[in-house]
Amino acid sequence: MKEKLNGKDLINIGIFSAIYFVIVFITAMLGMVPILYPMLTVICPLVGGVVYMLFLTRVKKFGMIWIMSILMGILMLISGMSWYALAIGVFSGLIADLIFKSGNYGSSVKGVLSHAVFSLWIFGNYLLFYLNHESYMKTREEMVGKEYVDKLNSLLPMWSWVVLLAATLIFGLIGGMMGKSMLKKHLSKAGIA
Amino acid sequence: MKIQFENVSFRYESRKTQESVRALDFTVNDGEFILICGSSGSGKSTVGRLINGLAPYFYKGELSGNVMLDGRSVREIPQAELAARIGSVFQNPRTQFFDTDSTGEMAFGCENMGYPPEEIGRRIKQTSAEFGIEELLDKKLFGMSGGEKQKIACGSIYAVDPDVYIFDEPSSNLDLTSIRELARIMKLLKNRGKTVILIEHRIYYAMELTDRIFYMESGTVKEIYSRPDFVKKPLSELHQMGLRTSSEELSQLLADRVGIRSDRGYVDVQQLSFSYRTTAAHQNKTLAIQDLRIPKGSIIALIGENGAGKSTFVKCMCGLEKCEKAVIADNGRKLSARQRLRDSYLVMQDVNHQLFSESVEGELLLSDPDISKEQIESILEMLDLGAFLQDHPMALSGGQKQRVAVASACAAHKKYLYLDEPTSGLDYKQMKNMSRMIRSIKENVSFVMIVTHDPEFIFECCDHIIELEKGSVKSTYPLDKNGQMKLCEHFMSRVIDGGRIVQQGKHNELMQKDGIYRTFVNDRKKAVSRKL
Amino acid sequence: MKGDQKRRSRPNVRSELLFLLAINGVLIGNVKPAVIFALVLFSGLLLCLFCRISTAAKYVLTYCLMFSAEHLLMLLPGISLFHFIIVISSVLRKFIPCFMVGCLILETTTPGNFLASMQRLHMPKVFSLPFAVVLRFFPTVKEDWHSIRSAMKLRGIGLSFGNVIAHPLRTVEYIIVPLLSSSIKIGDELSAAAIARGLGMERDRTSVYDVRFCIWDHLLMLAAAVFFVLITFV
């Protein structure tokens, strides 16, 4: 039973996307210490969870999560992180939307699950490095010598992308759950959620 | 357009227990100017929403009865047509614009209607000429003052040229000059024969345009007055209805001031200078305060035109902005920016930004983790918040939130309390409560400084005035008898007649001429002498 | 020409987006440093012309600093730490030109202009409207963020290093809760006002903005082609 998205829904999507993106962006800026870079895929879902869960209380139609996911991808593209997040976001957003839809837009368990899948767009940014690994490393070789590059490579092996992917999903789950509890703690009492 | 309400009741979905309006039954004729007044919560805004269709299309709820526009039920008119025939201007200038550019915003309504671009351009030109806002075109909305934004909002509706205009408390966030300009726009609408519905607490600025006044209480229209009957009402009765006094009637409020003390010493401010980097919002504004004495133990009103630097001054005093060269001393003891930050508190215009906990109790604990239960109780008692100990701050009303913010300041043992426009949008009773609250905490802090352009409020609770103009101190004086006269003159220094500046000039000049000003000053002098 | 159909003498968001896509290759492959530098300068020029000079200067200088730092460190004896900094810096600085163009888009595109431009591209409203709202909302969130930060400072829970390290989650909570409540309230008021003025899905909107391509768009598209070739093939 597809209800069409109306103006109010679209504005809601825009507002929550803006908030989610700003919060994620600020968190990323704060954690911009290069050592923490892989950790961003962990921190961002944790922080964004509450925004997403609140958004879900206003989503009652198909497409809202999907569009938000695509918007995140576009915003990533514009902020200079290339189009990988967008490419992932198109698929992960659709799946996240379907997950939440399957619970008839009311199940909080499905909501948390959908956040885990939704968060994959953050992982998309790392694909930028993994898929272009060779060309990156070649330049670095010229700068710091093959030996050091080999050392770095051993620190961050190629299969680590699986770890990051899993971490994104897991912390997406945790973030969703934390978001749900924060919603209960604050915003339901305040009558907003 | 003729508007008819036939036994209309509406209950918001979110408030399942209570109907917002009940059994509304009245007619508004084409071309009438109706004022709807009443205390907060009386259902005034809902009436506006029922006409422009936002209830129940946007604000979901149960509607019974019929709202008829020219004989057709609102339920049957598509939202697009409603938007074309009914224009709405809302309370908050900050949140009602969609575009970030003023011309784009003026065009927004027309663009939604699908008018051809040349037509839109023509309408914008005509509107800006009639409103006198040509200089505001092609500018960034984020840099404009509240009054300017509100004018653009009106212009945006005017360009669509609807039959009905609904204004929902449009003057709430505006200073006196902007309110007068708003009144001028409303006069224009009246002259063009538009139907206007004005929902307001401040009635004086459009009183001469009003045909009928609807007084609402608890969701029903208690009384409908014609203008001649209404203007006969005494001030006290208007206050009962939640309405605010006009600046012209301020003379009736003059009172003996108890509690002006000069024995607690002073906070001295010297060489406070600050200038914003040139961004769209703050172009070349500088603050230069040379020598200022703030009397401790008093409630100070910080007044001045928009852009005079009031908010900036407060932020510098709080230590939120860096002003290195400033020397601020409390009875001789110098205060660094860090100390001031620790000892100051600012209740902002948007109180939502400063409440962080999940309960009022939590909010106080945040200020002082070691606070005792008795202290919590006494603070809440003083501020009339005893019943809300466990409530979430965000669930409270605006006025209650402000009190929670003040409570948190007390719990944190703050010495200098600042408030930024605390009475925007408050009706009479709420304003009195606010003033009572501030007077009750006067003893707990070193001073209270309130940025405000609400003359009634100043008379209610302040004892001292600091006036800023273009970034420096124009004058500062206590609100004794002379001070009160001076304040009245300040608010009356531009006399209006139907929105136009009729008499402008210095006190002495105006006293020579025969006119409203002289009559007013003489009346006031008589009033003051009567009170003594 | 005020109030007439607006002809802005700056590139339209469509050509800006095209340029951004064209130069994305800089992040992927091995691009000659000279080309990247030319790109940074060109982006700086765009920012100077259509945005603020201070912004342009900020980014161009940062790039130059990072580049010089790397090459200085390369001259010094090879300690692990230096190698690490060189690698990180050389990776991060490649993001700067794209970031600059992104800044240009976000700062100079108004929601109304965006809607009109996207309608020209026949982009469905389900995408263009939310994004226009994002553009509208960013400055508001920025304002709120400053306000909340001030409030936090006054309460002693500000964003100091100590606070963030000691109680990270609580600090995040302090920021998010007021930000969310405030944003929701603003969002509701914004939606109500937009709907009451006829914003909807049904009709095609017209626009007072003239979004036809002007000379700047053609120049920008040419530059996009040039840089694309330089990045990919040189």
Long-range contacts of A83-91 (CB under 8 A, 24+ apart): A83/C21, A83/C24, A84/A124, A84/A125, A84/A127, A84/A128, A84/A131, A85/A121, A85/A122, A85/A124, A85/A125, A86/A121, A86/A124, A87/A124, A88/A120, A88/A121, A88/A123, A88/A124, A88/A127, A89/A120, A89/A121, A89/A124
Q: Which subunits have 3 or more CB–CB pairs within 8 Å of chain A?
A: B, C
Joined together, the tokens standing for residue B100 give 């970030």
Average pLDDT for residues B404-432, to the nearest whole number? Answer: 88
Query: What does the DSSP assignment read for B463-519?
Result: -EEEEEETTEEEEEEE-SHHHHHHHHHHHHSEEEETTEEEEES-HHHHHHS-SHHHH
Of A121 and B250, the one with more pLDDT: A121
Domain(s) labelled CATH 3.40.50.300 in chain B stretch across 3-243, 266-357+395-492
Nearest-CA distance from A39 to chain C in Å? 14
Asked if C141's CB is within 8 angstroms of A22's CB, the reply is: yes
What pLDDT was estimated at residue B505? 45
Joined together, the tokens standing for residue B361 give 């109790």
Q: What is the pTM of this model?
A: 0.86
Task: Tell whether A166 is within 8 A of chain C (Cβ).
Answer: no
Joined together, the tokens standing for residue C166 give 């000691």
Sign of CA dihedral B13, B19, B23, B29: negative
Asked if C106's CB is within 8 angstroms of A17's CB, the reply is: no
Relative to beta strand B447-451, strand B299-303 is parallel
Nearest-CA distance from B216 to chain A in Å? 26
Average pLDDT for residues A101-124, to the nearest whole number? Answer: 86
**For residues B440 and B383, is the Cβ–Cβ distance under 8 A?**
yes
Q: What are phi and psi of B472, to 5 degrees?
A: -135, 170
Q: Using the predicted structure, report yes or no on whether residue B432 has a pLDDT greater than 90.
A: no
Distance CA B394, CA C177 (A): 10
Condensed to tens digits (0 to 9), the pLDDT of residues B175-185 reads 888 888 899 99
**pLDDT band of A85, cuts 50, 70, 90:** confident
Average pLDDT for residues C174-188, to the nearest whole number? Answer: 86
What pLDDT was estimated at residue B156? 93
| Residue numbers in C near B58 (CB within 8 A) | 191-192, 195-196
- Taking alpha carbons only, the member of A19, A181, A14, B367 closest to residue C179 is A19
Shortest CA distance from C207: residue in chain B: B111
Distance CA B276, CA A160 (A): 48
Joined together, the tokens standing for residue C169 give 């989650």
Question: How far is CA C55 from each of CA B276, B279, C37, C52, C59, rounded to the nearest angstrom?
Answer: 17, 12, 17, 5, 7
Residues linked to residue B292 through DSSP beta bridges, in sequence order: B269
Q: Using the predicted structure, report yes or no on whether residue C1 has a pLDDT greater than 60.
A: no
Average pLDDT for residues C208-214, to the nearest whole number? Answer: 81
Of B346 and B511, the one with more pLDDT: B346
User: What proportion of chain C, given as a percentage, has pLDDT over 90?
Assistant: 7
**For residues B476 and B465, is the Cβ–Cβ distance under 8 A?**
yes
| Residue numbers in C near A13 (CB within 8 A) | 130, 133
Condensed to tens digits (0 to 9), the pLDDT of residues B106-157 reads 999 999 888 898 999 999 999 999 998 888 888 888 888 888 999 999 999 9
For A18-53, give the secondary structure using H, E and C: HHHHHHHHHHHHHCCCHHHHHHHHHHHHHHHHHHHH
Asked if B14's CB is within 8 angstroms of A190's CB, the reply is: no
Q: Using the predicted structure, report yes or no on whether residue C110 has a pLDDT greater than 50.
A: yes
Domain layout of chain A by residue ranges = 7-125+158-188
- Taking alpha carbons only, the member of C129, C107, C112, C109 closest to residue C5 is C112
Position C125: which residue type? Answer: K
Position C20: which residue type? Answer: L
Distance CA A179, CA A51 (A): 7
CATH for B266-357+395-492 (2.40.10.330, 3.90.870.10, 3.30.450.70, 3.40.50.300)? 3.40.50.300
Distance CA A193, CA C50 (A): 41
**For residues B172 and B425, is the Cβ–Cβ distance under 8 A?**
yes
| Residue numbers in C near B344 (CB within 8 A) | 154
3-state helix, strand, coil in chain B (%, to 5): 45, 25, 35
Residues linked to residue B299 through DSSP beta bridges, in sequence order: B448
Residue tagged 């203008």 (tokens):
B227
What pLDDT was estimated at residue C204? 78
Condensed to tens digits (0 to 9), the pLDDT of residues C114-156 reads 998 888 888 888 889 999 999 999 888 888 888 898 898 888 8
Query: What does the DSSP assignment read for B179-218?
Result: HHHHHHHHHHHHHTT-EEEEE-S--GGGGGG-SEEEEEET
Condensed to tens digits (0 to 9), the pLDDT of residues B270-313 reads 888 887 765 545 555 678 888 888 888 889 999 988 777 888 88
Query: What does the DSSP assignment read for B408-460?
Result: HHHHTT-SEEEEESTTTT--HHHHHHHHHHHHHHGGGSSEEEEE---HHHHHH
Shortest CA distance from A186: residue in chain B: B358
Asked if B58's CB is within 8 angstroms of A191's CB, the reply is: no
Give exposure, B288-298, as e/b (b: 16+ Cβ within 10 Å).
Answer: ebeebebbbbb
Interface of B with C in 91-130 (CB under 8 A): 92, 94-101, 103-105, 107-118, 120-121, 124-125, 128
What pLDDT was estimated at residue B90? 92
User: Best interface-test mutation with B: which of A184, A186, A192 has the largest number of B CBs within 10 A?
Assistant: A186
Radius of gyration of chain B (CA): 24
> Whole-number mean pLDDT of chain A?
81
Using CB atoms, pick whichever of B58, B358, B391 lies closest to residue A186: B358
Asked if B58's CB is within 8 angstroms of A190's CB, the reply is: no
**pLDDT band of B506, cuts 50, 70, 90:** very low
What pLDDT was estimated at residue B151? 93
What are the DSSP E strand ranges found in B218-362?
Answer: 220-226, 266-275, 286-295, 299-303, 327-330, 333-334, 344-347
What pLDDT was estimated at residue A32? 62
| Residue numbers in A near B391 (CB within 8 A) | 189
Contacts of B206 (CB under 8 A, 6+ apart): B33, B35, B183, B186, B198, B200
What pLDDT was estimated at residue B184? 92
**B138-142, B325-329, B348-352, C163-167: segment of lowest average pLDDT:** C163-167
Indicate left, alpha or beta for A100 from its phi (over 0: left) and psi (-120 to 50: alpha). Answer: alpha
**A100-109, B191-200, B216-225, B404-413: segment of lowest average pLDDT:** A100-109
What pLDDT was estimated at residue B523? 55
Number of Cβ within a 10 Å radius of residue B200 = 23
Question: Cα dihedral angle (B235, B240, B246, B247), rounded to 10 degrees?
Answer: 80
In the sheet with B416-420, reading across from the earlier edge strand, the strands are: B344-347, B416-420, B447-451, B299-303, B464-469, B472-478
Position B367: which residue type? Answer: S
Task: Tell whether C183 is within 8 A of chain A (Cβ).
Answer: yes
What pLDDT was estimated at residue C201? 67
Nearest-CA distance from A51 to chain B in Å? 16
Sign of CA dihedral B90, B93, B95, B98: positive
Of B275 and B529, the one with more pLDDT: B275
> Whole-number mean pLDDT of chain C?
83
Condensed to tens digits (0 to 9), the pLDDT of residues A169-181 reads 898 899 889 888 8
Q: Please, where are the H alpha helices in B251-320?
A: 310-318
Task: Tell whether C139 is within 8 A of chain A (Cβ).
Answer: no
User: Best interface-test mutation with B: which of A8, A60, A189 has the largest number of B CBs within 10 A?
Assistant: A189
Of B478 and B17, the one with more pLDDT: B478
> Whole-number mean pLDDT of chain B?
83
3-state secondary structure of B226: strand
What pLDDT was estimated at residue B306? 76
Contacts of A170 (CB under 8 A, 6+ apart): A116
Position B2: which residue type? Answer: K
CATH classification (class only), B3-243: alpha beta
What pLDDT was estimated at residue B159? 93
Distance CA B10, CA B64 (A): 6
Q: What are phi and psi of A63, to 5 degrees?
A: 110, -20
Position C148: which residue type? Answer: I
Condensed to tens digits (0 to 9), the pLDDT of residues B437-483 reads 888 888 888 899 999 988 888 888 888 999 988 888 888 888 888 88
Distance CA B433, CA B383 (A): 10
| Residue numbers in C near B90 (CB within 8 A) | 189, 192-193
**For residues C83 and A144, is the Cβ–Cβ distance under 8 A?**
yes
Condensed to tens digits (0 to 9), the pLDDT of residues C51-70 reads 888 888 888 998 899 888 88
Joined together, the tokens standing for residue B472 give 């420096």
Most confident of B69-73, B255-259, B366-370: B69-73
Nearest-CA distance from B15 to chain A in Å? 10
Distance CA C6, CA B107 (A): 11
Nearest-CA distance from A97 to chain C in Å? 15
Nearest-CA distance from B106 to chain C in Å? 9
Residues linked to residue B270 through DSSP beta bridges, in sequence order: B291, B327
